[in-house]
Amino acid sequence: MAPVLSSTAMISQRNQEDLLLSKTLHGHAWEESHHQDSFISKLSKKDREFQPAVVDNYLENWKEDKPENETEEAKAERQNAYKAVANSFYDLATDFYEYAWGTSFHFCRFHSREPFHQAMARHEHYLAANMGIQPHFKVLDIGCGVGGPAREIGHFTGAHITGLNNNDYQISRAKRYAVSTGLEDRSDFIKGDFMNMPIDDNTFDACYAIEATVHASTLEGVYGEAYRILKPGGVFGCYEWVMTDKYDSTNPDHLRIVRGLEVGNGIAKMMTVQDCLKALKTVGFTIEKNEDMGATDDKIKWYYPLQGDIRQANAFWDYLTVLRTTTAGRAATTYMVRTLESLRLVAPGSAKVSSILQTAADSVLEGALIGIFTPMYFFVARKPSDATH
């Protein structure tokens, strides 16, 4: 009889399998690349046999073309596979994200004459300030990506930041960035599922998530884990991706946009504002602040880089960002990658990944323009100081 593995041993085994698959996909890029490597160089180092299979397996999570025809069983199957869905997505998309957007994978509000990267940093500072993060705090970044916000918030507050991530490739890049920015002593990055965090109860003074917990199978699951790992009185801040109260689940156009958001961003199931607030209360948090920071009367809209209004750019590098993220720019990137793929200069499947990300941007923009989607539903919630668990 085969030995029965403990849950800890099973997680360790799965983590080793994830690491092996990620190293296989990224090939020489895993050991040899530095964050200064070019976008094309990274794509050229992917495994030419494995990447197409990863892309096809990822897309298999959405077998039905029309979302209104999808069965509840198929939806439940995808939700159960939330971790694999997100992990595959970020293995495929991370290099494209860094090329087009930088190392902080989120949206933000913009002020007039404010450069893109300054606005992104301010968005992260706003979260940290509203949470009241202090230099002596131990802080958890839930779903930390390649560590852009962790580094910025670490510099801004002086706190020690631990990044939690389920994607090995992103963790490896986050660690490299921390060293290059002198934050290796005030940050660390750990592998883990945010629905089952490898962290003891009552460990952190604060935790935050920036457009990351949308990948959870249920918000109660990930918010419950945030509650558990916080000390009594600890604070949880978040920018959440949700469908707004204008979303109509019976509207075929709305369903089409939701499908685009899910397929294009590695999301098992989009949730609503009401789902978010209900989940926070259900697990025990007290909500101190909450608002949709995407629904403002800002002169420069948060989605302007996707719209391509080059007149809103405020610095040289902003022009490059906008040019890469407009509809035309996204199409140009896909055409460029497809051409390089046909010349065998980058791995097969690269152009298909670019097309997936085009779908993502198109769906974000369309959902934003009709007001049914926001990537920055902001909240600050607190674990009661008399909590017993």
Q: What is the mean pLDDT of residues 353-376?
A: 96
User: Using CA of residue 195, residue 168, residue 90, residue 130, what is the dihedral sign?
Assistant: positive
Classify residue 351 by burial, with Cβ atoms within 10 Å: 0-12, 13-18, 19+.
Answer: buried
Helices (H) and strands (E) in the chain, counts: 16, 7
Are 59 and 205 in contact by the 8 Å Cβ rule? The answer is no
Residue with tokens 């198109």: 362
Q: Which helix (H) or strand (E) holds 259?
A: helix 252-265
264 neighbors 361 (Cβ within 8 angstroms) = yes
Cβ pair 380, 133 in contact under 8 A: no
| Range 50-78 average pLDDT | 90
In whole angstroms, how far apart are CA 244 and each of 4, 67, 87, 251, 270? 45, 19, 26, 14, 11
Query: For the structural domain made of 116-254+267-294+373-382, what CATH number should be given?
Result: 3.40.50.150
> What DSSP string describes 304-333?
HHHHT-GGG--SHHHHHHHHHHSHHHHHHH
For the whole model, what pTM was predicted? 0.93
Q: What is the pLDDT of residue 274?
A: 97
Please give the pLDDT value at position 371.
97
Number of other CB atoms surrounding residue 93 within 10 Å: 20
Q: What is the mean pLDDT of residues 160-188?
A: 94
Whose CA is closest to 241, among 64, 372, 100?
A: 372
Q: 251-298, pLDDT tens digit by residue?
A: 999 999 999 999 999 999 999 999 999 999 999 999 999 999 999 889
How much is the pLDDT for 70? 86
Comparing CA positions, the residue from 372, 362, 197 lying closest to residue 273 is 372
Q: What is the pLDDT of residue 2?
A: 45
State how far the Cα of 283 lies from the Cα of 383, in Å rounded to an integer. 10
Average pLDDT, the chain: 91
Cα separation, 183 vs 175, whole angstroms? 9
High-pLDDT (> 90) share of the chain, %: 72
Alpha-carbon torsion, ordered 309, 314, 317, 320, to 10 deg? 10
* pLDDT at residue 169 tops 70: yes
- Give CA 361 to chain center in angstroms: 14
Q: How confident is the model at residue 5 (pLDDT cuts 50, 70, 90)?
A: very low
**Token couple for 69:** 């025809």
Task: Return d(Cα 146, Cα 49) in angstroms, integer.
Answer: 26
